């Protein structure tokens, strides 16, 4: 799948008021995913699957979590349409990430984690996301300049296991954190 293939889904999402990353941030994500060639990706906040299509564009195995069961079903359809290998979990991202982290016997690890759900909850998933991330893998958090993300932004910039860079897009941006050590 090419990034340009998502133009119609992007336009339809915007027209319907579905919160998506949009073209600029979407293209950055697409380019980054193409470079790192992650094999297992976790997404918190599926919406209708737009960003999941980007994340799964290289054939990676995608696990994506969406709170709203109706929009989660729409994500399933869109991901299937674009031939993305994905498992969509309908539920609260904080609880689902906690389950994944507790279930280490099944060796849940990810090369890339994209956080784009309730901004005030980013910090509450951080430690579990770090435990699920392979060394060298990335956590990318969207909307990092929003007020609700201030504590998360501060924590990832100071965290001993992470090396973090802020990528700005106008008045918004990503926190891109690479896991540099296990503990």
- Tens of pLDDT, residues 155-181: 999 999 999 999 999 889 999 999 999
Query: How many residues are present in the chain?
Result: 183
**Which residues, in sequence order, are CB contacts of 66 under 8 Å at separation 6+?**
45, 46, 47, 72, 75, 88, 89, 90
Q: With cut-offs at 50, 70 and 90, classify the pLDDT of residue 21.
A: confident
Q: What pLDDT score does 71 carry?
A: 93
4: pLDDT confidence band, cut at 50, 70 and 90?
Answer: confident
pLDDT confidence of 7, banded at 50, 70, 90? confident
- Over its C-alpha atoms, the chain yields an Rg (Å, rounded) of 15
User: What pLDDT digit, counting tens, does each position of 71-118 carry?
Assistant: 999 999 999 999 999 999 999 999 999 999 988 656 679 999 999 999
Least Cα distance to 183 among 162, 158, 157, 152 occurs for: 162
Q: What is the pTM of this model?
A: 0.94
């Amino acid at each position: 799948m090419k990034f340009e293939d998502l133009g119609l889904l992007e336009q339809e999402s915007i027209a319907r008021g579905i919160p998506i990353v949009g073209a600029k941030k979407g293209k950055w994500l697409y380019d980054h995913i193409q470079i790192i060639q992650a094999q297992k990706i976790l997404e918190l906040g599926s919406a209708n699957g737009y960003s999941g299509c980007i994340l799964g564009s290289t054939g990676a195995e995608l696990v994506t979590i969406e709170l709203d069961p109706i929009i989660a079903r729409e994500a399933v359809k869109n991901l299937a349409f674009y031939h993305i290998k994905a498992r969509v979990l309908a539920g609260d991202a904080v609880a689902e990430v906690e389950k994944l982290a507790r279930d280490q016997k099944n060796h849940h690890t990810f090369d890339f984690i994209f956080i784009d759900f309730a901004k005030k909850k980013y910090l509450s998933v951080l430690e579990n996301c770090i435990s699920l991330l392979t060394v060298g893998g990335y956590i990318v958090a969207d909307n990092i300049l929003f007020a609700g993300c201030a504590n998360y932004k501060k924590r990832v910039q100071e965290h001993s296991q992470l090396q973090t860079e802020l990528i700005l897009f106008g008045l918004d941006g990503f926190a891109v954190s690479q896991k540099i050590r296990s503990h």
